[in-house]
Structure 1
Amino acid sequence: MSVISIFNGTFCNADAVVRDVIDSTGYRLLTDEMVIISAAEASGMPESKVRRAFSAKTSVFNKFTHEKECSIACLRLALATALKTGPAVVQGFSSLLIPQTISHVLRVCIIAETAYRIERAHAQDGSSQKEALKHIHAIDADSAAWVETLHGLKDPWDASLYDIIVPMNHLTVEEAGALIEENLIKEAVRPTDASKKAQEDFLLAARVEMALSKAGHDVSVSAQDGRVTLTINKQVLMLARLEEELRAIAGNMPGVESVETRVGKDFHEAHIYRKHSFEVPSRVLLVDDEREFVQTLSERLQLRDVGSAVAYDGKSALTMVNEDDPEVMIIDLKMPGIDGMEILKQVKATRPEIEVIVLTGHGSEKDRQECMALGAFAYMQKPVDIDALSDTLRQAHAKVQQRNA
């Protein structure tokens, strides 16, 4: 039996259409939340971090952690595994993870004109036109970012991605369901030996991608009849060594007959391949109003493979704590507005798992005692020896890793 994938805009009555299709076909439903839960259980990643893969906003630390890419690999493997057990309606962002090579998938887009969506939003939760439009634009931005990440297209409703587009401002729920069911029985989406093999290839590629991701790598993976192709899309200084490492990991996976590596179309762009190291900190937030100092410090830490981002004031730092989940912070005490002491108090009150290193040129013994009493991991004076700071960072990272384990 064929699979139905449904990608939809918000406030398009898609849930009602999906229920109608399920009632008529007896198919099981795979939602984003179901796939997220399975992905998190299989990978050990927190559900919240896997879920962030669907957001247009990417963490400032992502170029060091590859967290979004790893989350997508987890989601892909969870979906490929779930599809093994039989036909389903896959609804949501996850539906676009199914490769086009699997032909027994009816790819559906449910969308509507903005006026219809605003009206549905008002009927659903009483939203005003302004509130509804803001919500619609925010979710559409996530949809657009997701489609661009997976397919390189800027329009999430691009007709090339779907077999049918269902305009809900022109159809009732029953009519939309009937249209989907009518297309489901067409010859073009019936399973064939080739399409079943493509689904097996999808699962094998997902398993290889997950293994590479767990080893800190970020490459594109495809498979055909046990032959795996790994595409490197960022420049790397020692390409032969990287290719050897990738082939060694992928070649040991069950079902892999051969491994080919190649460079992709973006290889010569100004992006450097960076393997994620689990041994050094990769989510360090530096907070200091001395811009030149903190930028130089960030660069020097990155040369030591420490992933860091900067904030120049306390308000920005606290926002980044909530949005970007740093593991370790290095903060200056004396800053205008929200100073380092207040940052330390707020972080330890709301996010005690974050380790905080105080680095100051104006502190006193009294300040040191107060900071340590508030829960600071270390108190260091400027100018600081970069190796001593790096060692302290590694100790703080080790404490975070031990607690997480």
Structure 2
Amino acid sequence: MPLIIISADEFKQGDEIGQKVAGVMGYRYLGRDLLHTVAQEHQLNEQELIQALDDPPGLLSRRARRQRLLGYIEAACLEALLDDDAVCFGLAAHMYVRAVSHALKVRIINEPEQRAADLAQAEGMTLDKARKQVLRQTKDERRWSEDAYQLDQTDASLYDLVISLGTLELAKAVDIICDTVAYRKFQPMTYSRKLMQDKALAAQVRLALMEHFPDVRVEANDGTVAAYIQSLKKDQRKKQELVRQIAGEMPGVRHVEVHVIRDLVGQAAQSTR
């Protein structure tokens, strides 16, 4: 059965729609509750995991920590999504299942003016102040996704279905999603299931490597793992061996390839000493 991945510019609405769709379809609902499990399994602060998903990028010195927290979430989420029959919201899954054909990717949006009016009423602020806050929230949302995944999550082209609640009731949005996921295009195929398995393995390997290589990029294909790391030339061989050692011990990994990207910043720093 297909997966349904939901993204929304208003968390409360996205969560409500996701749960209602799961109820109608008889699917599992995979939401922020997963963060509690991740925190317990890895001795992490659950609030810190939430902040990694919600807060805009800040100091560069904290980026490595945030990326690793997102790595924990991504690995756990992909593992949970291997079973299909799930509606997922609030875990940034729309950023890392983009090529999976049996995952219906949905974006829920509101008209900015309606968002501002709702915010003004809820917070007791002026409409003008609410408009500025909505604009800032949209910019922060874009900054977050571009920094974390090099993608603009407000870009409609990332999604199979975009629903505006400006003219639709929430219940109608639920109906549209349930109808759309029945399309033949979103039925699981052997290739798409394999792609999910490859993504899940790559996420687990990446997480294991991030302690030593915060910016590592990992791809997987049928048990062959390719890791892309930065290194100075003098450290290249030692780092390649460390990657092979860590990745090679992980379940499901049969072969490890290590590709080195020259650390130009570090190289320049070395040359000035």
Query: Which TM-score applies when normalising by structure 2?
Result: 0.86
Distance 2:90 2:121 in 1: 22
Shift of 1:125: 4.5
For 1:243 and 1:11, the matched residues in 2 are separated by 41
Residues 21 and 174 in structure 2, CA contact (< 8 A), matched pair in contact too:
yes
1:248 aligns with 2:237: no
Change (3 A) 1:252 1:13: closer
Q: Which runs of 5+ in 1 are unaligned?
A: 273-302, 304-405
| Correspondence for 1:157 | 154
Which residue number in structure 1 is paired with residue 105 of structure 2?
A: 107
Q: Return the alpha-carbon distance in structure 1 between the equivalents of residues 206 and 236 of structure 2.
A: 19
**Alignment equivalent of 1:270, drawn from 252, 260, 265:** 265
User: Is the contact made by 2:57 and 2:144 (CA closer than 8 Å) also made in structure 1?
Assistant: no
- Summarize the alignment of residues 207-286 of structure 1 with structure 2, pairs less than 5 Å apart: 207-215=204-212, 217-232=214-229, 234-237=230-233, 238-263=235-260, 267=262, 270=265
Q: Is the 2:4–2:104 Cα contact (8 Å) retained in structure 1?
A: yes
In 2, the alpha carbon distance for the partners of 1:218 and 1:88 equals 30
| Local SS of the residue matching 1:61 | helix
Q: Assess if the C-alpha contact under 8 Å between 1:3 and 1:89 holds in 2.
A: yes
Alignment CA distance shift 1:122-1:73 (3 Å): same
After superposition, give the CA deviation of every residue in 1:20-69 in whole Å (9 maximum; x if it has no partner).
Answer: 323321222222x3232222222222223323322213345336xx2112
* Residue identity in the other structure for 1:72: L
Q: Larger Cα Rg: Structure 1 or Structure 2?
A: 1
Contact 1:4 1:105 in 2 (8 A): yes
Query: How far apart are 1:250 and its partner, in Å?
Result: 0.5
When the two chains are superposed, the root-mean-square deviation of aligned CA atoms in Å is: 2.5
Give 1:44's aligned amino acid.
Q
Bigger fraction of residues in helix? 2
Note closer, same or farther for the CA distance 1:269–1:104 as it changes in structure 2 (3 Å cut). farther
Partner of residue 270, structure 2? none
Residues 45 and 167 (structure 1 numbering): CA distance in 2 closer, same or farther, change over 3 Å? same
Q: Which residue of 2 aligns with 1:21?
A: 21
Distance 1:252 1:40 in 2: 24
Matches of residues 279-294 of structure 1 in structure 2 within 5 Å? Answer: none
What CA distance in whole angstroms lies between the structure 1 residues aligned with 2:255 and 2:193?
Answer: 20
Residue in 2 that maps onto 1:143: 141
2:104–2:181 CA contact under 8 A, matched in 1: yes
One-letter code aligned to 1:24: V
Q: Which SS does the other structure have where 1:218 is aligned?
A: coil
2:35 maps to a residue whose letter is I
Structure possessing the higher relative contact order (Cα contacts under 8 Å, 6 or more residues apart): 2
Structure 1 outlier segments of 4+, above 6 Å: none
How many residues end up aligned between the 2 structures? 266
User: How far, CA to CA, are the matches of 1:72 and 1:271 in structure 2?
Assistant: 25
Shift of 1:79: 0.5
Cα distance, 1:216 vs. partner?
5.5
Indicate how the Cα distance of structure 1 residues 128 and 19 shifts in structure 2: closer, same or farther if over 3 A, else same. Answer: farther
Partner AA of 2:141 in structure 1: S
Distance (whole Å) between structure 2 residues aligned to residue 78 and residue 43 of structure 1 = 11
Q: Secondary structure of the equivalent of 1:270?
A: helix
1:170 aligns with 2:167: yes
Task: Confirm or deny: 8 A CA contact 2:74 2:93 kept in the other structure.
Answer: no
The aligned runs of 1:61-80 (5 Å cut-off) are: 61-62=61-62, 66-80=64-78
Letter in 1 for 2:6: I
Contact between 1:110 and 1:166, CA under 8 Å: does it hold in 2? yes
Q: Deviations over 1:159-212 (max 9, x none)?
A: 221111111112111221122112101111111111111121122112111211
Provide TM-score, normalisation by structure 1: 0.60
Percent identical across equivalent pairs? 28
Q: How does 1:89-108 map to 2 (within 5 A)?
A: 89-108=87-106
* Equivalent position SS for 1:99: coil
